[in-house]
Amino acid sequence: MKQNQVLLDSEMKTFNIVEIFSSLSGEGSTAGVPASFVRVDSCNLRCSFCDTKYSYNHEFTTMTFKEIVDMLKTFDNKVVVCTGGEPLLNKNNARLLPLLLSNEGFQVYIETNGSVKLYREEELLQGKRENIHYVVDIKTPASQMERFDCIEHNSCLLLDGDEIKCVVASKEDIEFCKNKISKIFNNIKDKKINIILSPVFGEIKLQDLAEYVMQMKSIMKDSCLTVKLGIQLHKLIWPHIEKGV
């Protein structure tokens, strides 16, 4: 009954939305795939290399869930990326939005900064977990937010199709990620999870990242994990455009 009531009430729930747009997914397992993006307001972190600082300036439009879905349907994309800001904050219904979108048949990817605990089991009853995929950051020293990282807890909740993303700016960051992944390896080794190494543009040589990816390949050969080099395609295609890509 509780789940049914949530769904019945969903159309009129309101959310603070910074932007909604259609583009090519720029990174991760969906890189190059047409996708819709829903960027929510507010973030609990202030990463040094954040490229969407406008998402926590509190410049947003309050939209009902029905308005959001109607707009997404005009794009005709199966994939929806919920991003921010931080979409898993319990603020202005943001945490509920991916669950509701999953019930509309969208394949929902949640880009979370890794400092917020993932959905509890009772929350997932409000959505379709098979339509929900986490993209969880490991915060590196370059972000200056590494003390807020909770990947060791969150890794236990990851499933096939989820992703772990490491944005790195130096060899120190690479070693940091290597140590983190070693700590959580037993939690994730039997799951089909992508581990993505992504550079802070202009801060690290792609060759260094590529070398690390090749090293990790051998370490993970007896697991179900896949390690990948991730480059933000949208920054290559639209290098001078900040919003809407």
Architecture of domain 2-45+52-237: Alpha-Beta Barrel (3.20)
Which three-class secondary structure state does DSSP give residue 27? Answer: coil
| CA–CA dist 116, 93 (Å, integer) | 15
Domains of the chain by residue range: 2-45+52-237
**Are 28 and 230 contacting, i.e. CB atoms less than 8 angstroms apart?**
yes
Burial 56-88 (b: 16+ CB within 10 A, else e): beeebeebebebbbebbeebebebbbbbbbbbb
Output the six-digit token pair for 13.
């729930």
Torsion sign, CA atoms 89, 94, 100, 101: negative
Buried b (16+ CB within 10 A) or exposed e, 135-158: bbbbbbbbbebbeebebeebbebb
Quote the CA–CA distance of 200 and 143 in Å, as a whole number.
Answer: 10
What's at 241, amino acid-wise? I
Beta strands in the chain (DSSP E): 14-24, 34-40, 61-64, 79-83, 107-112, 132-138, 163-168, 194-199, 226-229
Integer Cα distance of 108 and 135 in angstroms: 10
DSSP letters along 95-147, please? Answer: GGHHHHHHTTT-EEEEEE-SSS----HHHHTTS-GGGEEEEEEE--GGGT-GG
End-to-end C-alpha distance for the chain, whole angstroms = 40
Helix (H) or strand (E) holding 71: helix 65-75
Q: How many Cβ atoms sit within 10 Å of the Cβ of residue 212?
A: 20
Q: Evaluate whether 178 touches 141 at the Cβ level (below 8 Å).
A: no
Put simply, whether the predicted model's pTM sits higher than 0.85 gets the answer yes
Output the tens digit of pLDDT for each of the chain's 245 residues: 455 555 557 878 999 999 999 999 988 888 889 999 999 999 999 999 898 999 998 899 999 999 999 999 999 999 999 999 999 998 888 999 999 999 999 999 999 999 999 988 778 878 788 899 999 999 999 999 999 999 999 999 999 999 999 999 999 999 999 999 999 999 999 999 999 999 988 888 888 889 888 888 877 888 999 999 988 777 777 767 777 76
